[in-house]
Structure 1
Amino acid sequence: MTTPAPETDAPRLPAEWEPHAATWLAWPKNPRDWPGKFHPIPWVFGEIVRRIAQFETVRLLVDDAAWEDKARRVLGKAGADLERVRFHHVPTDRGWCRDMLPAFTLRRASPRVRAVRFGFTGWAKYPDHLLDAEAPEHVARALKMPMVRAAAQGRPLVLEGGGIDGNGRGTLLTTEECFLDPITQVRNPGLTARDYEDAFREFLGVEQVIWLGKGIAGDDTHGHVDDLCRFVAPDAVVLCREKDPSDENYRVLEENRERLEGVRLHGGGKLQVIDLPMPEPLFFDGVRLPASYANFYIANGTVLVPTFNDPRDRIALGILAECFPDRIVTGVHAVDLVWGFGTLHCLTHEQPSAGKALDIVHTS
């Protein structure tokens, strides 16, 4: 069993709504991520960067100077504030920053930020991941930031950021399908739930792990939690709900709801569960896509929410606006984007500011 670090020096994984120093993105370049639909993707990125740069610095990974020029042209036409964009020449394979970049923790005894490097194996599925796996070193070096390598049972711990979600107060959401399935897309063979919990405590300062069951249909990560359930306050989550009993997500989401009923948070408070609708099933080329409003991204002054030309877009935006009354909640068209099997949260990665946690208005 891992011995926790002393409280005065323990790490803390901040919540996404706490102040950011920057948001990291990687400029899209791999047409295989969006086969037959790549052309509009840079323009969707242009809109994402434009929205985020209104409130914070955007740090953008590009392969080299030629790719930087391409990105600058698109961003300029999209109206993004290029003064708020910092370019980093770092070659990548696929560039899903949520999953390949390090986690950032704060120290309880000081305002120092530290990078936590997890292993990345292309979701235990895709062989073209070796450049992405080295991105954490480049990021830590660019920021002159100390970095620690996460491990469990004497070996590197493989983990993607989309597989976890925290409330900044010591509680973490994840799924059994993603990390405990012994057959499909196995990240860490032989690790138990207790092994993960010990590692989360040591490297992220987590005291409570809420294990959900399975993820949504169409998710090729095999169960990332950021497509179904997210913290929106220290004591509240949004959980996707499918009302059609014939839909393959219906039973999965209801079972996850049952797991959350009666949960008491680390510290004793009750967890509030807020319904977030699912859009109508979205298919392309006969493939069901992981369209979900839960894949939103919380930036300093805004929340970007994927939308799908669906009547439920408006409902989802309204629910999230009530959850984040201090931010501008904006929809970003994601029908093309989700053909890459991910949307806004998958693409982005926050870099927290050093300092005290941001107090927010709890949902009611």
Structure 2
Amino acid sequence: MSNLLDETPTPAQQGFFFPAEWHPHAATWLTWPHTEASWSRERLELMMPAYLDFIKAIADSEPVCINAHNELVMQQARMRLLMAGANMDRIKLLPFPSNDSWCRDHGPAFLINPAKKERMIVNWGYNAWGGKYPPYDKDNLIPTAIAHYRHLDYVTPGIIMEGGSVEFNGAGTLLTSRACLLNKNRNPNLTQAQIEQYLRDYYGVQQILWVEDGIVGDDTDGHIDDTVRFVNEDTVLAAIEHNPADANYAPLQEIHHELRQMTLLNGKPLNIIELPMPDPVVSDGQRLPASYANFLITNKSVIVPTFRCAKDQPALDIIEGCFPGRQIIGIDSTEIVWGLGSFHCLSQQEPGV
């Protein structure tokens, strides 16, 4: 479909907005891991069982669309999925080329206009978290490939923006972090005020709330989807570390302090529910960005990363209390997080309208 021109009214002016993740999905999008960009060949084999469990869990709830690079990768993915017992009637493999697997960040941002029963895509720029992991040229083309596949108009703001850096309540509020969005490795020529205007214009929000930073080991410079997640219009799950000796103690305490100062558009303070951090996950001396907050909400479930520790079940219980009517599915993400992300990072929801 067409790339809307600069003189076209912004998506917000046209009545489009990015809905909350619990809005009904038409599908969830993934990008199949096929290179050694995030996992070595050996690590890829170790993470694959959990990745396949993740796909099967999504497919139990809604269709899954997978960017699978080329025909060979599509064949390999189909064989793995069939052997794992996945419901292939709910899974669509597409030969859209990619460099890496983090669809939350390189995938499209789907906007909806419920009044007109219309959707569109925002084709944000993507530079692999500040140019850290070239090449990323194929990843940067995925939103337009999906727009053409879905026959949707798309708009290209011309700035860098990653899906994991923003969190929405569906009622006009966006949460993000200064460490990421104001980092000079993304949009060095833009001020905070200019970035906020882009967020209003292209995500259709009215309020931007800022926290300072993210968790240790997060190579994205502080993505919000590891620290604070909306579970309804007024409530957030916020990661907390109670051990003062842990490196995440200070940044997460600061985030909670900032959250307590916030007021939503309806005048209410945020309802903050504490979500424990897992025990540290360390590999080859490196602290990995393990967080229960990196869950994915689907139409029927919430898929939560677990990390083989005693805090797994309490975290699942807390999340279950926030999502009545949805099944809470814990999947071991210890091998997946070696790639420096988990289930939310790997996926991008496509809302229905």
Deviation at 1:95, TM superposition (A): 2.3
- Tell me how far apart the structure 1 counterparts of residues 66 and 218 of structure 2 sit (CA, whole Å): 25
Residues 137, 320 of structure 1: alpha-carbon distance in 2 compared, 3 angstrom cutoff = same
Matches within 5 A, 1:254-293: 254-293=253-292
1:130 match: 137
What secondary structure, in the 3-state scheme, does the structure 1 residue paired with 2:244 have? coil
Between the two proteins, the alignment pairs up a number of residues equal to 344
2:5 match: none
- Tell me how far apart the structure 1 counterparts of residues 12 and 100 of structure 2 sit (CA, whole Å): 38
Q: Is the 8 A contact 1:20 1:350 kept in 2?
A: yes
- Tell me how far apart the structure 2 counterparts of residues 333 and 347 of structure 1 sit (CA, whole Å): 14
Cα deviation, 1:251-297, whole Å, max 9, x if unaligned, reads: 10111111111421012222101000001111001111000000000
- Asked whether 1:50 is paired with 2:56, we answer yes
Q: Is the 8 A contact 1:9 1:109 kept in 2?
A: no
What secondary structure, in the 3-state scheme, does the structure 1 residue paired with 2:117 have? strand
Deviation at 1:126, TM superposition (A): 1.4
Residues 6, 218 of structure 1: alpha-carbon distance in 2 compared, 3 angstrom cutoff = closer
What secondary structure, in the 3-state scheme, does the structure 2 residue paired with 1:202 have? helix
What secondary structure, in the 3-state scheme, does the structure 2 residue paired with 1:40 have? helix
1:25 match: 30
Q: Which amino acid aligns with 2:180?
A: C
- Asked whether 1:70 is paired with 2:69, we answer no
Q: Is the 8 A contact 1:27 1:45 kept in 2?
A: no
1:160 match: 162
Q: Which amino acid aligns with 1:332?
A: I
1:360 match: none
Deviation at 1:101, TM superposition (A): 1.0
- Tell me how far apart the structure 2 counterparts of residues 76 and 109 of structure 1 sit (CA, whole Å): 40
Cα deviation, 1:103-145, whole Å, max 9, x if unaligned, reads: 1111253121110010001111111111101111111011011
Deviation at 1:229, TM superposition (A): 0.6
- Asked whether 1:83 is paired with 2:89, we answer yes
Q: Is the 8 A contact 2:214 2:251 kept in 1?
A: yes
Deviation at 1:7, TM superposition (A): 7.5
Cα deviation, 1:177-196, whole Å, max 9, x if unaligned, reads: 001134xxx10003122111
Cα deviation, 1:330-363, whole Å, max 9, x if unaligned, reads: 1011000000000000000000001xxxxxxxxx
What secondary structure, in the 3-state scheme, does the structure 2 residue paired with 1:140 have? helix
1:93 match: 99
- Tell me the TM-score normalised to structure 1 length: 0.92
Cα deviation, 1:197-243, whole Å, max 9, x if unaligned, reads: 11111111111111000100000111111011111111000110000
Q: Is the 8 A contact 2:215 2:227 kept in 1?
A: yes
Deviation at 1:47, TM superposition (A): 0.7
- Tell me how far apart the structure 2 counterparts of residues 144 and 312 of structure 1 sit (CA, whole Å): 44
Which range is displaced more, 134-143 or 38-47?
38-47
Deviation at 1:8, TM superposition (A): 7.5
- Asked whether 1:146 is paired with 2:118, we answer no
Unaligned runs of 5+ in 1: 151-155, 355-364
Unaligned runs of 5+ in 2: 1-8
- Tell me how far apart the structure 1 counterparts of residues 45 and 11 of structure 2 sit (CA, whole Å): 51
Find 2:14's aligned residue among 9, 14, 24.
9
1:241 match: 240
2:338 match: 339
Deviation at 1:84, TM superposition (A): 0.4
2:39 match: 34
Matches within 5 A, 1:152-191: 156-182=158-184, 186-191=185-190
What secondary structure, in the 3-state scheme, does the structure 2 residue paired with 1:206 have? coil
Q: Is the 8 A contact 2:12 2:203 kept in 1?
A: no
- Tell me how far apart the structure 2 counterparts of residues 284 and 6 of structure 1 sit (CA, whole Å): 43
Residues 115, 6 of structure 1: alpha-carbon distance in 2 compared, 3 angstrom cutoff = closer
- Tell me the TM-score normalised to structure 2 length: 0.94
Deviation at 1:43, TM superposition (A): 2.2
Q: Is the 8 A contact 1:13 1:170 kept in 2?
A: no
Runs in 1 of length 4+ with deviation above 3 angstroms? 4-8
Which range is displaced more, 326-335 or 29-38?
29-38
